[in-house]
Each structure stands twice: as C-alpha cells, then as structure tokens.
Amino acid sequence: MRKKLMSSMLFVSVLVLTGCKADIRKDKAVEGSSEPLTKVTVTNRDDETVIDGDRDLNQLVFDQHEYQYDVVTGATQTTFGTTPPALYSEQEKQEKMFWSNQPPLGLLKGDYYRNEGSFTGGNYGIVEIVTEENKGKILNVEFTEFASDPYYESKYSGVNKRLSDYAFFQASNTRTDPTLVTVVNGITYLEKQMRDENRVTGEFNTVNGSSTSARDGFMPLAAALDDSIRKPTNTKYQGYAEELANGLIARLEVITTAGKITEVFYDEYFADTQEKITDPDLKPYYRQSKYYSLMYNEKTNHEFVTFSDQLVAEIKESQSLVLSTERLMSYPSYESYQKLAEHIQLKAQ
C-alpha cells in the first residue's frame, strides 16, 4: 500500500495429490530435520465470470495459476551463499517456476489492522489485515517484506521483495533448483491459510525452501494482531483494483481513521506473464509493479513514483480523491486513477 504498506488476497483450495490422504514423503525438508514433506496442489477458485470488474463488495478475483508445493510444518533452510550445480537450463527453470504479483481484482472494504517490525537478518516486515466490518472475519491478509539495508547484494538493499525483480534474482540462483519456489510463493501460501482458516495464530504449513520470512517475520507479526482483529476499529480500508486494457492492473487503496484519510497508495502492476502485456517496452517488467520495479524506475527516471507520491500528498492534504493539480491530471496514469477512484466512497466529515 505505501512504500511499506500494501494489501492483497488469494482464495485457494488445497488438494492433496493422493486424494484424501497427504503424500507424506520419506525425504526430509533439510538435512538433519525431522519434518517430512507433504505434496499439495494449490488452485485458485473463481466460479463467476465478471466483466470490467463489475463484482459485489468483497467478491474478488485472483490469479488462476495452479501451484504444486512441497510443504512442511517447520522451518526449512537453503544453503545460503552457495551456488550448487544447476539441475535445469535457464529456459527449463523459467518454465517450471511461477509466482504471482497480482492484487485482488474488485472492491475490498472492511476494518483495517497493521503491524510491522524488523526480523531475521535486518529484514523488515509489514502485516496488514482487513476484516469484515464489525464482524472480525478475516477478508484479507498481506505480508510485505523489505530486504535489509545493507543487503549482501547491494542492488536489493531496502527493496520490496515482492514487487521488484527480487524474486527473479532468487530464481536465477541454482539454490532454488530443488524447490522451484521464491519468497513470493512462501508468502502467498501462508496468506491463503490465514484467510481460509480465519486465524493468525497456531501452526501453519510453509513452502519447503521458502519458509524463513514466513516463520521469522510473517507469523509473529500477524500473531501479535490476534486480539486486535477481533475488536471493531475506527480505522477502515477501501481498495479497488482493475485490469487495464494494456494488460496491467491499476490499484487504489485508501485508509481512513475516524473518517479522515490517513493513508493512500496508487500503483500499477505488470501482468504475471509477458504475453498479457501489450506494450513490448513494458514486457521485461512482468511480475513487478511500477512503483517498486528497480528496472522500470531506472528506465523512466522514477516518473511514476513521483506521480504517485504527489497524488498521495494532494489527497491527504485536500481530504478528497478529486484532484485539482493540472500537473497530476496531465500524467498518463491519471485517467486510470480517476476510474478507480469512482469506486471508493468516502463519508462526509
């Protein structure tokens, strides 16, 4: 949602490959570990066809990819800092790995809760939870992680791991050959469990090879919100996202406290596949967002970040989603922003 604040949602079902019983393997999660691996297939479920985002409140659309994971009930580790022999060619690995940056499409509205803090290695995590207003049912959970500063690969110091090309950096290392997952896979799988089970405490499964952030950062930060999310709050969330004609997704998020706009964020997400992006110049940035993509911002001199930051500043100052600054209204993304803003209903103060 902001530089360190976002929101997303993933409705999935877990189908164990052997039918009713989990396929419990004899191989271990890590050498010396007692945690067995369980093979699961994770698929998104969307029973309705919706055109132009015309969907009821909190009835959201998610990416339609099917994932197959080895999951464990304890933490796993990889041989950090090493480069083992490759198991696949670069093309083979690219075809086998998949993760999604897609935010929920449609309108999400409810009570808003947030927790944040540093964890292992100096990384910084933020957990955001949206519950059904005054009812406490979890509608959405999102974890955002920023790499430590400094980071061993200086390019990624302080970088958003989810919406930059950080996951591609992970995927390029042969350490991920055995598991074929990135930090994004680990995050979205844990988010799904919390939503499906309507809880943020207790034991959760994590993706083998991508559990450090989930267990050291995500789970403790979320668990600390357990008491808060069961109580009503005067801090409210409204978020709306819609797929644009060019294959990108525009997303507007607004948080109010006692009716006053306290946080706003506008971003545009490049599609999960290059094929969906119509502009050839934008295809290299797939699975990233305009605000957080290092490559895109280097290429465009951070023009979108400047637009988004100035947009936020004006909205918070005016307490209105209607812009009046000619400079902002002439920016190419203004039309997309304006279309999304029509779906956000603010109460008169």
Name the fold adopted by 12-230.
Sufe protein. Chain: A (3.90.1010)
The amino acid sitting at 176 is T
Report pLDDT for 1.
52
From-to residues of CATH 3.90.1010.20 in the chain: 12-230, 235-341
Q: What are phi and psi of 237, to 5 degrees?
A: -120, 135
Report pLDDT for 42.
86
pLDDT tens figures, 215-232: 999 999 999 999 999 999
pTM over 0.85: yes
340 has pLDDT over 70: yes
Instruction: Please give the mean pLDDT across all residues of the chain.
Output: 86
248 has pLDDT over 50: yes
Report pLDDT for 101.
94
Report pLDDT for 48.
45
Q: Which of 207, 216, 218, 217 is nearest to 176 (CA)?
A: 207
Question: What would the mean pLDDT of 301-315 be, rounded to a whole number?
Answer: 98
Report pLDDT for 25.
33
265 has pLDDT over 60: yes
Higher pLDDT, 171 or 136: 171
Contact 255, 345 (CB under 8 A): no
DSSP 44-105: E------STT---TT--B----EEEEEEESS-----TT--PPPSS-HHHHHHH-----PPPB
Lowest mean per-residue pLDDT among 15-29, 106-120, 121-135: 15-29
Report pLDDT for 30.
40
200 has pLDDT over 50: yes
165 has pLDDT over 80: yes
pLDDT tier for residue 77 given thresholds of 50, 70 and 90: low
pLDDT tier for residue 259 given thresholds of 50, 70 and 90: very high
> What is the share, in percent, of the chain residues with pLDDT greater than 90?
73
Question: What would the mean pLDDT of 46-62 be, rounded to a whole number?
Answer: 62
d(CA 198, CA 229): 11
Question: What would the mean pLDDT of 242-251 be, rounded to a whole number?
Answer: 96
Residue 245 CA, chain-centre distance (Å), reads 22
Name the fold adopted by 235-341.
Sufe protein. Chain: A (3.90.1010)
d(CA 52, CA 79): 45
Coil, strand or helix at 253: strand
Report pLDDT for 203.
93
Report pLDDT for 207.
94
Report pLDDT for 84.
86
Higher pLDDT, 131 or 8: 131
Contact 90, 216 (CB under 8 A): no
Higher pLDDT, 342 or 6: 342
Q: Which of 54, 66, 75, 343 is nearest to 208 (CA)?
A: 75
Lowest mean per-residue pLDDT among 16-20, 102-106, 175-179, 245-249: 16-20
Q: What are phi and psi of 106, to 5 degrees?
A: 120, -165
Higher pLDDT, 35 or 171: 171
